[in-house]
């Protein structure tokens, strides 16, 4: 099972791009997602499909990575569905709730924004090795070094956090399956019972996370890790394909701007 934050080895065009270009593109796409209109939804969704095609990423692993966040996406949709005023579409007198046209469209739009933001991060982490992520973050944060901010250590911390997201999710699945094998019921019962069953996994998961963090610290010390300037195996250089990727992103932004003028 593929988890969010997990790297998938490959030799696609996207895999070979400079990590700084991919990070900058992800940030720009995030801004476009927040500022998107309804017509932009179709264009941005199509753009993501094109990127996935160039990255040789299949739908199954991508959906598998997004699946753990399905609950939060559904919660966002329901919150806007029942809390947005407007033209009543359906009344629920027993629950003192009503569904409006505006709530339905607003819920769908916000849910799409949430999924699109997660998807941009998933594509970034699936096509960028952790080592390159550290180097890219370090280069992007380099100007802050003159303000006294330890940019190298900050890049390592961010990269480690991203790297251990899939590890912790895998550990959560392992603990859950172990408890189910011992007779724990995780899939039936009321919502309160399921939440209570899931809460029972918190303590062993936290203990596992602390143990992994301690092992990681010992491994880094054994390999001579220390503060200060460090070298990397691969020296990052911007080449023709990186400029082509930036040009493609610029054309897409221009297309969004033109469509915004004529559609709106």
Encode pLDDT of 150-175 as tens digits.
Answer: 777 777 777 777 777 777 777 877 87
Asked if 26 and 246 count as a contact pair (C-beta separation under 8 A), the reply is no
Element (H, E) at 50: helix 38-55
Domain that holds residue 231: 13-263
Could you tell me what percent of the chain has a pLDDT over 90? 19
120 in a structural domain:
yes
145 in a structural domain:
yes
Element (H, E) at 194: helix 191-199
Alpha-carbon distance 106 to 73, whole Å? 13
Q: CA dist 64 to 6, 114, 221, 259, 260, Å?
A: 11, 16, 35, 33, 33
242 in a structural domain:
yes
The 3-state DSSP class for residue 226 equals coil
4 in a structural domain:
no
118 in a structural domain:
yes
Give me the number of domains the chain comprises: 1
Give residue 25's Cα distance to chain centre: 14
> Which residues lie across from 100 on neighbouring strands?
88
Per-residue pLDDT of the chain (264 residues; tens, 9 = 90+): 556 667 888 888 999 998 889 999 999 999 999 888 888 888 999 999 999 999 998 888 888 888 878 888 888 888 888 787 777 666 666 666 777 778 888 889 999 999 999 999 889 988 988 778 878 888 888 777 777 777 777 777 777 777 777 777 778 778 778 777 777 666 666 666 666 666 677 778 788 888 888 888 888 778 777 666 666 666 778 888 999 999 999 999 998 888 776 665
pLDDT at 109: 92
Query: pTM for the whole thing?
Result: 0.77
Phi, psi of 90 (to 5 degrees): -155, 130
2 in a structural domain:
no
3 in a structural domain:
no
- 77's tokens: 């949709």
Q: CA dist 160 to 134, 165, 182, Å?
A: 9, 9, 33
Asked if 121 and 66 count as a contact pair (C-beta separation under 8 A), the reply is no
Phi, psi of 23 (to 5 degrees): -70, -45
Pairing of strands 88-92, 97-100: antiparallel
136 in a structural domain:
yes
Asked if 58 and 2 count as a contact pair (C-beta separation under 8 A), the reply is no
């Amino acid at each position: 099972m593929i988890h969010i934050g997990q790297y998938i080895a490959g030799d696609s065009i996207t895999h070979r791009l400079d990590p700084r270009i991919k990070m900058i593109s992800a940030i720009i796409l995030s801004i476009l997602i927040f500022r998107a209109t309804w017509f932009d939804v179709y264009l941005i969704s199509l753009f993501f499909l094109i990127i996935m095609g160039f990255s040789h990423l299949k739908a199954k692993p991508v959906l598998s990575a997004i699946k753990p966040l399905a609950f939060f996406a559904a919660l966002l949709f329901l919150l806007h569905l029942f809390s947005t005023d407007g033209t009543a579409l359906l009344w629920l007198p027993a629950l003192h709730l009503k569904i409006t046209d505006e709530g339905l469209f607003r819920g769908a739009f916000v849910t799409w924004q949430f999924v699109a933001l997660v998807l941009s991060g998933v594509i970034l982490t699936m096509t960028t090795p952790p080592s390159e992520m550290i180097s890219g973050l370090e280069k992007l944060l380099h100007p802050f070094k003159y303000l006294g901010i330890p940019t190298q250590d900050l890049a390592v911390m961010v990269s480690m956090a991203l790297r251990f997201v899939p590890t912790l999710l895998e550990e959560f699945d392992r603990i859950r399956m172990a408890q189910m094998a011992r007779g724990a019921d995780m899939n039936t019962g009321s919502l309160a019972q399921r939440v209570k069953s899931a809460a029972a996994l918190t303590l062993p998961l936290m203990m596992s996370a602390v143990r992994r963090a301690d092992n990681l610290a010992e491994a880094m010390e054994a390999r001579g890790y220390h503060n200060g300037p460090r070298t990397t195996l691969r020296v990052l250089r911007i080449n023709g394909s990186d400029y082509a990727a930036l040009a493609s992103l610029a054309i897409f932004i221009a297309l969004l701007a033109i469509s915004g003028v004529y559609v709106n």
